[in-house]
Structure 1
Amino acid sequence: MWPVLIAVWATFLLYSALAAPVPGANEPHYLCKSLHYWQPDWCAPDFFLTSPNAHTVFYATIGALTQVLSLDQAAWAGRGIVYFLLALGWTRSLSQIFCSQWSCLWVACVYLTLASIGNFSGEWLVGGVEGKVPCYGFLLLAFAETLQQRPRRAALWAGLAISFHPVVGVWGVLAHALSRIVSIVMDSRRYRRSFTSSLLYQRQDAAAAEMGNPQASAGTGHSARQAWIAVAIFTVVSLPGLIPVFRLLTETVPAQTRYAGTYLQVYFRLAHHLDPMMFSAQSYVGYAILLILWGCSLAWGGRTLAKIRLDGIVLWAVVFAFVGILIGWGPRPAKLMPYFAERMNLLKFYPFRLADVLLPVAFSISLVSVLERTLLVAPRSPGLACLIWKPQWLLLVCFLGAALLAHSRTDQNRYSRENRHDWLDACGWIDTHLRQEALVLSPSNGWAFKWFARRAEYVSFKDCPQDAAGIVEWNRRLNFLQKWFEENYADGLYSNTELKDLRARTGATHLLTDRLGPMELTPAYKNETFQVYDLESLD
């Protein structure tokens, strides 16, 4: 499996490098949090970094790279680690579905091609380094060990999945558990009907019960003991990830604060992930087509036991997403929905994200399964034409085209190419000239400020805390700044008196702006796009 594993790993890394150049969308969030976790004095005044941690296991393990490497180097090293784990789980699990081990690589190419076209709720699998990537890798490893009937190893990997990302891990484990329960119930009913007609079996079973068959008793006891050991392993390993989340969910805050925090999370900050009425029509159409094609593939031949079990997990992921749509669908504004508070509290657990990833993966597996039985194993004939028109080349070309397409969209969440140089220049000046304890008011559309400037921010729209009180305070700070800038611009100038008031009410030491102004205060540094103002000079 090593050649296949390395090929899949390289495919993930190449797509990651093209689709999400360092720093990726969430890498400043995870790695800056990790650096502050290990060095609390780094950007100590930063509001987001000092908020409660939701991914402690990631910060304590992969995040430790920030102690020996720069942030850029830690991102690349972290990607190498997490995508190796993902590739390992990918090949270990999918190799039990196909006859050819190289089909794992072709599934990766098809899936990444689909991922470059779009997704349903904003969920992705291959991009930057963050907690959900190793989580999916561990879930796939747990699935592979389950197929090999190794419950203790499966429990270990499942527990690690939850520790690295509790939301994704719990949904994945729940889908697998429900699919296994349904499978066991169906099998037991099938066997019961079959054995009922066998009088010999009934007599043997009765005789064994009367005589206390020691082998049967030993087998039953051994299975029960293995199950309890697996449950114990799963519980112990998953607790490091569950405890921080449990603390966030049970924090002692007023009911009004908890309500407001959930509302802001579901219908404001993360509405593009959590509110099904915010998803585009294109996403619904695309995933409906995938669902129909995948459903049709369930009747195709060549379905191994491993694929049947995987399809069961995917089916439950789709059920979770469908229930999420029913919960979130209703009139707007959302508070007009019946049982609005209960529905809002359910939506904050991301019911769509598992199906967002697994449905394209399941379709890719079905497509490659058909190709494996037809074109991929076509008889070889001599000649250059046969070598050129191999379907493997077409899959590789589709993958490269998809990676380049994803790369062309990387500027959507960053400054334009014209302003990027000035942004990095301003952040670099801040990094070299401001004291470590500085607190900066950065632009609302700032990109990875802490990553480049290595200084604390008063508030950042991208970096939203996870606790209810923190979310409410985050929203208050954003609203305060917007209102302050609007009210004090009535005379067309931000005077030193007004800026001194801003400093007193925020505690900020410096102000970084692009369009905001004019200011009475002379900038401490400026380039063609950005200006840095020293608010401490007003003291």
Structure 2
Amino acid sequence: MNDARRQALLESALILLVFFIEGAYPVPDVNEPNYLGKAIHFWNPQWAAGDFFLESADAHYVFYFTFGWLSLLLSPLALAWTGRLLIWALLAWAWRRLSWALLPRRWYAVLTAALWVAGLNRFHMAGEWVIGGVEAKGFAYVFFLLGLEALVVRRWNKAWILFGASGAFHVIVGGWAVVAAGMVWFGMTLARRCVRTTPEDQAPDQHTKSARRATPLLTSPPAAAAGTSSPAAHPRDVAAEVPGPATSPSGPALIAPPSLKAMAPALLLGGLLALPGLVPVWMLNWGADPRVVAEANQIYVFERLYHHLDPLSFPPQFVLRFGLLAVGWVLLCRLTPADGPRRMLRRMTLAALLLAGTGTACGLLALLDRATAAGLLKYYWFRIPDAMLPLAAAFDAASLVALRRDTGRGFARWFWPAVFVGLAALHVVDLASIRPIPQAPRADKLPQFSHWRDLCDWIAQSEQIAPGATFLTPRQTHTFKWYTGRPEVANWKELPQDAAAIVEWYRRMKEIYAATRQDGTLKWLNWPDELPRRKIDRLAAQFGFRYVVSSQRVRLPYRIVYQNESYVLYELPRRDRPAPLQYRPCRGIGFVSSNLSL
């Protein structure tokens, strides 16, 4: 093994270690029960057969086909850890490639990885994360990073293909990557045409100043423009950035991107690769009543996922810290020269911030037209900005470290390296210190985790439970199916993806766990023992559940099958098979829909 390959393996292993420390929460993590539960059920329909969420429409077929089959061989716990290690290893490999395209120095890829996960963890605005549990977007971000690597070295055709592959796994990640890259392409093409309109006899310095005024963050400082290589100059771009017909000998080159005609085959191939991810999403609401879709959009955006989608609902401190990171990134851009690859990264980051601005405008539209705003906000405008801004800040911070180490003297040489290396180390060490401490999985929201596990393990192993029986569970539970393999009526976390099922899910939530206050607003209950017996009997007849899982706070008048210090399992009397459920509109959302059978 030669030195270069050994160095690559060592750096990739250290990056994997950083990602492991960042994401090694106990299984199952936040979204693993629903993503992996769907994958398990896809390959084994008998697992939790009859569960409302699992039998709703599927949106991530590529993830189920490429990874879900392992559920036939592995337990859910082993499946989760296998997926985590696979995704993190692929992300580590892709990150090192991107880092060396932007900052080709030994060990800097490890520093940038640590800075990136610190930024993701502590400066997100809309709750986006990349390093964590197993879900489709983890694989999508692998192709996103590889596509970004291709883009920063101006391999446009390769970038389109890789972004298409990203969209196959997760259409939101890949789709917004294509949109952002398209904005970069359009901006560069427009800038090139503007330069071409400049008189040929224009003074070189005047020409350069006008170009810099047009794109202050996208060009190099004078030292770099004059031929002084930045600390991370990429060899493939040095030759490409020689003065051409549309630039002056003393100014930064404005290299024209390929034409649409030249990129057409790659765009077509990328689109074809994305189709397996795009078509299932298109089919989710194919033929659905537009009123049902509009109602589902408002439930999706304003009732359930507002913390990811509605900018007016973001915590002010999250918006503030994201804004501070954006200001810090701009200052880093002013302090560090940028060669070709880092200029491309800055363009991509600006495009991502424009997406965030557009999403904010869509959020403001909700003050005038909630239905239209919901139809726009459901596309996760803030997902790519949440990932891209910490990424760009990490690379520009590392570039400043390299610059000061090369050109600084005395205190100035070590100040910024100490700051950013210290911040990265502090974040990683902080997380590493808590990893050995036993803790409940983040997906478990109920108190007394050990008692909850005892209950679920008993249900999973018991022969007293009737096959195919459905359970009424606490509203905030998310791991009942994960531990038991049994179906439940619904829970707050597991939101279906198709419009009809979203509306039905919200109807179930309201009918079971919503109480109306005197002022007309909803009060959400969490436990079945907060419901009167008459209501539980009616719900059992309506939804067909036979068992109720609740707390020990209040005893319900049913036969106790199992109990421990915190939880109790009740069995209801046998009933006739319930009539098929019919869709009914959710009152209070503002739409009237015709009946739609589920």
For the aligned pair, the TM-score class normalised by the smaller chain equals 0.7 to 0.9
Match of 1:201 in 2: none
Query: Structure 2 residue aligned with 1:289, among 324, 334, 338?
Result: 324
8 Å Cα contact 1:86-1:137 kept in structure 2? yes
Match of 2:508 in 1: 477
**Distance change (3 Å), C-alpha of 1:298 and 1:499:** closer
Q: Which amino acid aligns with 2:341?
A: A
Structure 2 residue 61 is the aligned partner of structure 1 residue 30: no
Which runs of structure 1 show a deviation greater than 6 angstroms over 4 or more consecutive aligned residues? 222-225, 376-380, 388-391, 405-412, 484-487
In 1, Cα distance between equivalents of 2:435 and 2:121:
5
1:32-431 residue pairs with structure 2 within 5 A? 32-191=37-196, 193=198, 227-248=263-284, 250-329=285-364, 337-375=367-405, 392=421, 395-402=424-431, 404=433, 414-415=444-445, 419-431=448-460
* Cα displacement (A) at 1:375: 4.1
Match of 1:455 in 2: 486
Q: Which amino acid aligns with 1:347?
A: L
Q: Which amino acid aligns with 2:550?
A: T
Query: Structure 2 residue aligned with 1:441, among 455, 469, 472?
Result: 472
8 Å Cα contact 2:102-2:152 kept in structure 1? no
CA deviation string 1:463-520 (max 9, x = no partner): 0101111111001111111269999x9x99955x765443221111211111574222
In 1, Cα distance between equivalents of 2:292 and 2:440:
36
Match of 2:595 in 1: none
8 Å Cα contact 1:113-1:403 kept in structure 2? no
Match of 1:13 in 2: 20
In 2, Cα distance between equivalents of 1:492 and 1:395:
47
Q: Which amino acid aligns with 1:153?
A: K
In 1, Cα distance between equivalents of 2:372 and 2:435:
37
**Distance change (3 Å), C-alpha of 1:308 and 1:436:** farther
**Distance change (3 Å), C-alpha of 1:341 and 1:499:** closer
SS in 1 for 2:303: helix
**Distance change (3 Å), C-alpha of 1:376 and 1:138:** farther
Deviates more, 1:82-91 or 1:42-51: 82-91
Q: Percent identity?
A: 29
SS in 2 for 1:523: strand
* Cα displacement (A) at 1:3: 2.0
* Cα displacement (A) at 1:155: 3.2
In 2, Cα distance between equivalents of 1:94 and 1:410:
35
In 2, Cα distance between equivalents of 1:518 and 1:255:
44
**Distance change (3 Å), C-alpha of 1:241 and 1:272:** same
Q: Which amino acid aligns with 1:252?
A: G
Q: Which amino acid aligns with 1:304?
A: D
Two-structure CA RMSD over aligned residues (Å): 3.3
Q: Which amino acid aligns with 2:397?
A: L
8 Å Cα contact 2:30-2:133 kept in structure 1? yes
In 1, Cα distance between equivalents of 2:544 and 2:553:
19
Q: Which amino acid aligns with 2:493?
A: K
Q: Which amino acid aligns with 1:469?
A: A
8 Å Cα contact 2:28-2:441 kept in structure 1? no
* Cα displacement (A) at 1:393: 6.5
* Cα displacement (A) at 1:395: 3.3
**Distance change (3 Å), C-alpha of 1:378 and 1:66:** farther
8 Å Cα contact 1:116-1:402 kept in structure 2? no
SS in 1 for 2:198: helix
SS in 1 for 2:549: strand
**Distance change (3 Å), C-alpha of 1:321 and 1:225:** closer
TM-score (norm 2): 0.76
SS in 1 for 2:114: helix
1:480-491 residue pairs with structure 2 within 5 A? 480-482=511-513
Q: Which amino acid aligns with 2:487?
A: A
Structure 1 residue runs of 5 or longer lacking an equivalent are: 199-221
**Distance change (3 Å), C-alpha of 1:22 and 1:377:** farther
CA deviation string 1:357-387 (max 9, x = no partner): 111111111111101222489899xxxx9xx
Q: Which amino acid aligns with 1:247?
A: M
8 Å Cα contact 2:43-2:69 kept in structure 1? yes
CA deviation string 1:290-337 (max 9, x = no partner): 11111222223331211111111111111111121122137xxx5xx2
Structure 2 residue runs of 5 or longer lacking an equivalent are: 1-7, 204-257, 517-523, 577-598
CA deviation string 1:118-157 (max 9, x = no partner): 4201111111111112212201111222344545533332
Structure 2 residue 541 is the aligned partner of structure 1 residue 512: no
CA deviation string 1:394-430 (max 9, x = no partner): 63343221555799997765346x6111100000111
SS in 1 for 2:335: coil
CA deviation string 1:51-90 (max 9, x = no partner): 1111111111122221211111111110111122222221
Structure 2 residue 458 is the aligned partner of structure 1 residue 432: no
Query: Structure 2 residue aligned with 1:3, among 2, 10, 18?
Result: 10
**Distance change (3 Å), C-alpha of 1:152 and 1:113:** closer
In 1, Cα distance between equivalents of 2:378 and 2:43:
29
**Distance change (3 Å), C-alpha of 1:176 and 1:152:** closer
In 2, Cα distance between equivalents of 1:306 and 1:445:
46
8 Å Cα contact 2:29-2:443 kept in structure 1? no
